[in-house]
């Protein structure tokens, strides 16, 4: 027995109120003159004593009322064992319908076993059916209706999500807080090891939950899969496009697999790879000859296991004409256009034509037709060009500014707006150069650049970043790469040059992915890559595209968004595998291939000892040892405030009746 909110016991001070009322008010009676007291006999005194005694009953009732109220607010509880609390229990049936359950007859076996459990349950026990994917899906409420429960199990379809046992434990913990009866959790799953959370403690279940595991497989089965496909989302030169596929084997012997590239349902190329035992092999297709527009592509291996659903990986490719990018540099600067064009041309995924102009000519250009604009180490930017660039950025365009040695001629960075605080020529210092100290890998420009290891910077401009995001620093703390959002567009500032005079970055191979990814990012192409993973979220609209309708057609040809959602939803969850067709808010048509999470392809099973640990009885011996303390372990607080409030109610009624009888009788007589 205990109190959950003992500080409410301070309410006992309210007991003083009835004592005050009863004891003090009695002494404040004003004597009243009366004609004669001949009818008030001495017996009256004894009557008053008797009445005082009865008033003491009233006082006691009132004191009890306050006492119980304070006690109820203190939220008392008693420790009761789950078994004693209620002989009934809730049988919670959770069936794993993640992607891996498509292998063999796993889902059918799980459903059959679930039906068996349902038929053997006691008629007085309620049952509830749920499905486990990346989230818990409630199929029925707690019910005694066997028909509804069996129908829910029968109608369960396999999903494409990745199972998360941690999510299961979290959902059951939440459920146990609201269900007063003990819960018997029956979990029907292939017990995939990859579904385990990183920390075993995330699987912890409340004391009133008993876990019964129903593994539908005992051992891992070999499985080959197309683990990943690296393909461009856009292609402008089919001969330069490459498709790389990684074929992985889990628990498999060494084997030769045939890999096919299928474009719009037709096999375009076939490769043979030797996959080592329990290893990976890469298949590369040298061209991606797709027609203009979107092409639904897939990489497929010949099926040789019980899990054919993961033998294919899909992606969508859009063939377009290359887009133009404007490179503005001074007339005397020939190195930076050279290196930049070379890097952009070497990139596989990018499709840009670089237009190199001087600052004077740039003012006459129509900026809106360019995917992005590069200002490379300009001595000065004409005011007309700068205002045009600002309008271009605010309207959604992107500008990439590189500040080289010419930056010393101005005090501020054009368009970006930051003040130039200093310029460092590190070649004159003892170290002669600086490296990159840190770079934010979450930014696309740095994502594939491997932290720019080994790149030497001889010259850098120190710019006050203000509210800009700093993506990379030099070792002396100078911000090297910054990004600022202006209006709907972005301005990226590289605090060094794009030639080999201020740094040796263009001479490093990492310069190519840096330029390529940055170009893709600034042009917005990056956001439309052609493959996603199930349960990822797709951004449907930007901030300026509110109230504009979008259309999503799922792999089954359905429109999952309602009319309201199509005008208001910001994101969309890709719930199933297949090709999604999108009509985005900017009017652009897009096709996305969605694949299940490949961790589902690893069919390795959780070891028995881990399963036993999860069930809560690691071994028979330890279970026996724990039996002695089981009652104590299963004890849990049972709140009794409800019963106390009933007593309060009863005391209030008794007090009202008694007070009415003692004090209100005169009024009734007068009526």
Partner 1 sequence: MLQRFLDPSVLAGISGLDLVAKTVVDGFVNGLHRSPDFGFSQEFAEYRAYSPGDDLRHVDWNVFARTERAYLKRYRGETNSILTVLLDASNSMKFSSHAVSKMDYARFTAASLFYLAIQNQRDAAGLIVFDDEVRTYIRPSTRQGQLPRLLSGLEHAEPHARTDFAKPLDHFQQFLRRRGIVVFISDFYDSPEHIVRTVEPLRFHGNEVVLFHILDPKEIRPEIKEPSTLIDLETQDRIEITPDYVRDEYRKKFDAHVEALRDKTRGAGMDYHLLVTDRPLDDALREYLTIRQGRD
Judged by the rule CB under 8 A, the positions of this chain that interact with partner 1 are: 26, 29-40, 43-45, 47-48, 51, 662-663, 665-667, 669-670
Nearer to partner 1, 31 or 557 (CB): 31
CA 126 to chain centre: 32
Provide, rounded to whole angstroms, the least separation between the CB of residue 54 and partner 1: 8
Contact 322, 351 (CB under 8 A): yes
Nearer to partner 1, 1 or 37 (CB): 37
Give backbone dihedrals phi and psi of 158, rounded to 5 degrees, phi first: -70, 145
The span from the CA of 403 to the CA of 377, in Å, is 5
The span from the CA of 581 to the CA of 560, in Å, is 12
Nearer to partner 1, 177 or 669 (CB): 669
Cβ-based neighbour number of residue 543 at 10 Å: 7
Residue 150 token pair: 């069996």
Nearer to partner 1, 429 or 665 (CB): 665
Cβ-Cβ contacts under 8 Å for 651 (sequence gap 6 or more): 61, 64, 65, 68
Burial of residue 408 (CB within 10 Å: 0-12, 13-18, 19+) is: middle
Nearer to partner 1, 45 or 267 (CB): 45
> Hey, CA dihedral for 110, 113, 118, 121, is it positive or negative?
negative
Nearer to partner 1, 54 or 84 (CB): 54
Convert 606-618 to b/e letters by CB count within 10 Å (16 or more is b). beeebbbbbbeee
Select from 538, 600, 605, 603 the least CA-distant residue to 160. 600
Nearer to partner 1, 7 or 34 (CB): 34
Q: What is the 3-state secondary structure (H, E, C) of 384-446?
A: HHHHHHHHHHHCCCEEEEECCHHHHHCCECCCCCCEEEEEEEHHHCCCCCECEEEECCCCHHH
Provide, rounded to whole angstroms, the least separation between the CB of residue 654 and partner 1: 18
Report helix angle 43-73 to 641-663, nearest 10: 160
The span from the CA of 163 to the CA of 216, in Å, is 15
Burial of residue 665 (CB within 10 Å: 0-12, 13-18, 19+) is: exposed
> Hey, CA dihedral for 650, 654, 660, 665, is it positive or negative?
positive
Provide, rounded to whole angstroms, the least separation between the CB of residue 655 and partner 1: 17
Nearer to partner 1, 48 or 507 (CB): 48
Nearer to partner 1, 41 or 431 (CB): 41
Nearer to partner 1, 1 or 671 (CB): 671
Residue 627 token pair: 């039996």
Contact 607, 254 (CB under 8 A): no
Provide, rounded to whole angstroms, the least separation between the CB of residue 30 and partner 1: 8
Report helix angle 146-154 to 106-120, nearest 10: 170
Report helix angle 511-523 to 335-346, nearest 10: 80
Provide, rounded to whole angstroms, the least separation between the CB of residue 58 and partner 1: 12
Select from 131, 130, 138 the least CA-distant residue to 98. 131
Nearer to partner 1, 1 or 38 (CB): 38
Provide, rounded to whole angstroms, the least separation between the CB of residue 56 and partner 1: 13
Give backbone dihedrals phi and psi of 81, rounded to 5 degrees, phi first: -75, 150
Provide, rounded to whole angstroms, the least separation between the CB of residue 23 and partner 1: 13
Select from 599, 455, 658, 664 the least CA-distant residue to 165. 599
The span from the CA of 105 to the CA of 217, in Å, is 10
Contact 258, 301 (CB under 8 A): yes
Nearer to partner 1, 31 or 123 (CB): 31
The span from the CA of 397 to the CA of 365, in Å, is 14
Cβ-Cβ contacts under 8 Å for 557 (sequence gap 6 or more): none
Select from 619, 620, 616, 610 the least CA-distant residue to 634. 616
Nearer to partner 1, 54 or 485 (CB): 54
Nearer to partner 1, 41 or 88 (CB): 41
- Count of positions (residues) in the chain: 671
Secondary structure element (H or E) that encloses residue 623, with its range: helix 620-627
Nearer to partner 1, 30 or 366 (CB): 30
Give backbone dihedrals phi and psi of 213, rounded to 5 degrees, phi first: -90, 135
Provide, rounded to whole angstroms, the least separation between the CB of residue 72 and partner 1: 31
Nearer to partner 1, 48 or 254 (CB): 48
Provide, rounded to whole angstroms, the least separation between the CB of residue 40 and partner 1: 5
């Amino acid at each position: 027995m205990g109190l959950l909110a003992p500080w409410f016991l301070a309410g006992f001070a309210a007991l003083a109120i009835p004592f005050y009322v009863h004891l003090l008010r009695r002494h404040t009676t004003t004597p009243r003159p009366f004609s004669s007291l001949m009818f008030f006999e001495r017996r009256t005194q004894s009557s008053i004593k008797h009445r005082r005694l009865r008033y003491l009953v009233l006082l006691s009732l009132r004191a009890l009322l306050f006492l119980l109220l304070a006690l109820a607010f203190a939220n008392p509880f008693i420790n009761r064992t789950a078994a004693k609390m209620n002989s009934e229990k809730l049988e919670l049936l959770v069936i794993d319908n993640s992607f891996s359950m498509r292998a063999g007859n796993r889902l059918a076996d799980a459903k059959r076993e679930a039906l068996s459990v349902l038929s053997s349950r006691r008629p007085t026990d309620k049952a509830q059916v749920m499905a486990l994917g990346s989230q818990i899906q409630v199929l029925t409420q707690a019910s005694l209706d066997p028909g509804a429960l069996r129908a829910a199990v029968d109608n369960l379809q396999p999903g494409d999500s990745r199972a998360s046992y941690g999510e299961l434990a979290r959902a059951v913990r939440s459920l146990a807080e609201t269900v007063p009866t003990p819960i018997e959790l029956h979990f029907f799953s292939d017990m995939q090891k990859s579904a385990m959370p990183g920390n075993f403690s995330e699987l912890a279940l409340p004391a009133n939950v008993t876990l019964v595991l129903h593994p539908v497989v005992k051992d891992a089965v070999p499985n080959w899969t197309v683990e990943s496909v690296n393909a461009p989302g856009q292609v402008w030169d089919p001969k330069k496009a490459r498709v790389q596929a990684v074929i992985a084997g889990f628990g498999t012997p060494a084997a030769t697999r045939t890999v096919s590239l299928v474009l719009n349902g037709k096999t375009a190329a076939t490769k043979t790879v030797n996959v080592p035992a329990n290893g990976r092999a890469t298949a590369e297709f040298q061209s991606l000859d797709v027609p203009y527009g979107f092409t639904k592509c897939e990489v497929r291996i010949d099926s040789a296991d019980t899990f054919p659903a993961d033998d294919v990986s899909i992606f969508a490719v859009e063939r377009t004409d290359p887009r133009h990018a404007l490179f503005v540099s001074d007339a005397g600067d020939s190195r930076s256009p050279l290196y930049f064009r070379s890097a952009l041309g070497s990139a596989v995924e990018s499709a840009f034509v670089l237009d190199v102009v001087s600052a004077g000519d740039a003012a006459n250009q129509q900026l809106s037709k360019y995917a992005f604009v590069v200002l490379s180490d300009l001595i000065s930017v004409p005011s007309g060009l700068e205002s045009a660039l600002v309008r271009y950025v605010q309207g959604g365009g992107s500008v990439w500014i590189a500040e080289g040695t010419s930056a010393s001629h101005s005090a501020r960075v054009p368009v970006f707006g930051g003040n130039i605080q200093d310029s460092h020529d590190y070649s004159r210092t003892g170290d002669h150069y600086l490296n990159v100290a840190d770079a934010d890998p979450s930014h696309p420009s740095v994502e594939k650049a491997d932290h720019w290891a080994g790149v030497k910077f001889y010259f850098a401009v120190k710019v006050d970043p203000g509210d800009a995001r700093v993506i990379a620093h030099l070792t002396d703390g100078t911000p090297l790469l910054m990004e600022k959002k202006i209006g709907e567009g972005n301005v990226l500032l590289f605090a060094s040059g794009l030639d080999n005079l201020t740094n040796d970055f263009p001479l490093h191979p990492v310069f190519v992915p840096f330029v390529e990814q940055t170009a893709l990012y600034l042009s917005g192409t990056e956001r439309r890559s052609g493959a996603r993973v199930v349960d990822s979220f797709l951004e449907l609209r930007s901030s300026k595209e509110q109230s504009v309708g979008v259309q999503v057609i799922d792999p089954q040809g359905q429109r999952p968004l309602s009319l309201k959602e199509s005008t208001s939803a910001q994101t969309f969850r890709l719930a199933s595998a297949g090709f999604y067709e999108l009509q985005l808010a900017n009017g652009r048509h897009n096709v996305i291939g969605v694949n299940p999470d490949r961790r589902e392809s690893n069919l390795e099973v959780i070891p028995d000892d881990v399963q036993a640990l999860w069930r809560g009885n690691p071994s028979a011996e330890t279970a026996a040892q724990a039996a002695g303390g089981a009652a104590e372990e299963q004890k849990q607080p049972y709140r009794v405030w409800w019963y106390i409030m009933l007593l309060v109610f009863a005391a209030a009624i008794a007090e009202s009746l008694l007070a009415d009888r003692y004090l209100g009788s005169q009024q009734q007589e007068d009526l």
